[in-house]
Amino acid sequence: MATAVASVAETCRAAKRAARALALRDTTVKDAALRQIAAALQDRRQEILAANEIDVQLGSEACIGQALLDRLRLDERRIDAIADAVLEIVALPDPVGELIEGRRLPNGLDVRKVRVPLGVVAVVYEARPNVTIDAAALCLKSGNAIVLRGSSSAMNSNAALSRIAAEAAEECGLPGGCVNNLAGGGREELAELATQRDSVDLIIPRGGEGLKEALQSVATVPVIYAASGNCHVYVDASADLDMAEAIAINAKTQRPGVCNAAETLLVHERVAAEFIPRMLRSLESAGVEVRGDERVRQLAAGEAAGPMPAPATETDWANEYLDLTLAIAVVDSEQEAIEHIGRYGSGHSEAIVTREVSAARAFQLGVDAACVYVNASTRFTDGGEFGMGAEIGNSTQKLHARGPIGLRELCTFKYLVEGDGQVRC
């Protein structure tokens, strides 16, 4: 099995061989393999849960924190969701061979631009074992072989999941080596993976700034960074405050340990006196710790609005808490909110709550992020929510993919040119 190949270089070479064969498999074969993977996840769930329990226990003993433990932990419901996500990918159109555009040139040549697989995609991720299956399913459907390199904290879970996926895929006629798992060794292994230019076509890291920096310093393989999410909700002067409260609470608390959770709330000064005290009470009820600027603290002191927020520092505005902590600031204008986001945001997901079309339009044009929301929670930035099936990550870059990375984003293209004897003069 490819998952048992000893070295990084050998694993990547095996994936390259598999990628050439996988690119020729038709949709029927790929979809059958994905259905088999979904069924195997259900049939072998006890094997998965037993492996995951070891990782969770070790993580608890190592005090990795509740946010990481939440990402790491699998249960019956989460396994069902992982399997369902695979079946959702089956239902999506196969991007391979899709005609992007076509035309006939004046010289009679017919030119077609069609989608083709990238080849070998390596995904580097931290303590989130569901990524193992999401990434594998997306790569297989888009005709790519995959090299999975999870963190050591999820080593047992990832090994079980990748083994199940590889075995199920090969049973249905996909080539051996199409799903590969690295053990999650140290930085030396990561550096070796990041320099496999002859066999790896793309690396997608999912993790914090530390992972991003580690790759930036060594990578010679192209990288799409699916990194941090310092997301904001801005409450405009015209906002429906009931809507604003619901959106802000959802964006912060629905699942705080993920990259599309809000980390900062910005409130226009014209509604701050009414909105911030009620928001502080709601946040206290939800167990959220607040860091506030001076005007937020003054409003908290003048109202029965729960505990006094701690003073927000420069670090707070730039911080991705990944926890039940929220920074709040009062701004004098929409432009100030846009400038704050431009200074501290990570380019992931930003939201405005407003009843003014002009304010919404100015926010959409002024904020530079992969996803910009009007009157909706940032928590919707997700391949599944966008109808893309699962996702490998959310790119905060602009080339070659931005936002959720789904099937089409895992393809490149080629030009197919047909003639009848033309030569260039």
In this predicted structure, what is the pLDDT of residue 227? 64
Alpha helix ranges (H) inside 254-312: 269-285, 294-301
The reply to whether 137 and 246 lie within a common domain is no
Looking at the fold, whether 307 and 403 belong to one and the same domain comes out as no
Residue at 129: amino acid letter: P
- Give the DSSP H or E segment for 111: strand 110-117
Residue type, 237: A
CATH number for 109: 3.40.605.10
Do residues 65 and 155 share a domain?
yes
Residue 4's contacts (CB-CB under 8 Å, 6 or more residues apart) are none
Q: What is the CATH number of the domain that holds 291?
A: 3.40.309.10
Are 64 and 79 within one domain?
A: yes
Q: Give the other-Cβ count within 10 Å of 355's Cβ.
A: 13
Label each residue of 76-90 as H, E or C. Answer: HHHHHHHHHHHHHHH
Domain-located, residue 340: yes
pLDDT along the chain (425 residues), means of 10: 65 97 97 98 98 96 86 94 94 97 98 98 90 96 97 94 98 97 83 96 87 88 87 98 98 93 98 96 96 96 78 96 96 98 96 98 98 98 86 87 94 98 95
Shared-domain flag, residues 162 and 287? no
Question: Are residues 264 and 316 part of one domain?
Answer: yes
Question: What's the chain's Rg over C-alpha atoms?
Answer: 24
Place of tokens 């396994």: 79
Q: Are residues 220 and 240 in the same domain?
A: no
Distance CA 136, CA 38 (A): 12
**Within a domain: 425:** no
CA distances from 96 to 123, 173, 198, 333, 345 (A): 20, 18, 23, 47, 35
Give the chain's length. 425
Distance CA(312)–CA(292), nearest Å, equals 5
Return the bridge partners of 341, or none.
none
DSSP sequence for 151-219: -GGGHHHHHHHHHHHHHHHHHTTPPTTSEEEE----HHHHHHHTT-TTT--EEEEES-HHHHHHHHTT-
Which of 194, 168, 199, 146 has its CA nearest to residue 22?
146
Residue 368 and residue 247 share a domain: yes
Q: One-letter amino acid identity for 80?
A: D
Number of domains the chain contains: 2
Distance separating alpha carbons of residues 257 and 141, to the nearest angstrom: 29
The predicted structure's pLDDT at residue 141: 98
Whether residue 92 lies inside any domain: the answer is yes
221 and 269 fall within a common domain = no
Whether residue 386 is contained in a domain is answered as no
How far is 28 from 197, CA to CA, in rounded Å? 31
Q: What is the pLDDT of residue 182?
A: 94
Whether 279 is in a domain gets the answer: yes
Same domain, 98 and 191: yes
Q: Strand 110-117 to strand 99-104: parallel, antiparallel, or no bridges (unpaired)?
A: antiparallel
The pLDDT of residue 6 is 56
Residue 423 placed within a domain? no
Do 94 and 203 fall within a single domain? Answer: yes
Pairing mode of beta strands 110-117, 394-395: unpaired
What is the rounded end-to-end Cα distance, in angstroms, of the chain?
Answer: 53
Residue 144 lies in a domain: yes
Surface-to-core class of residue 39, CB atoms within 10 Å of its CB (0-12 exposed, 13-18 middle, 19+ buried): middle
Domain residues for 137? Answer: 2-226+392-418
Q: What is the DSSP string of 9-31?
A: HHHHHHHHHHHHHHTT--HHHHH
Compute the distance between CA of residue 196 and CA of residue 366 in angstroms, rounded to an integer: 39
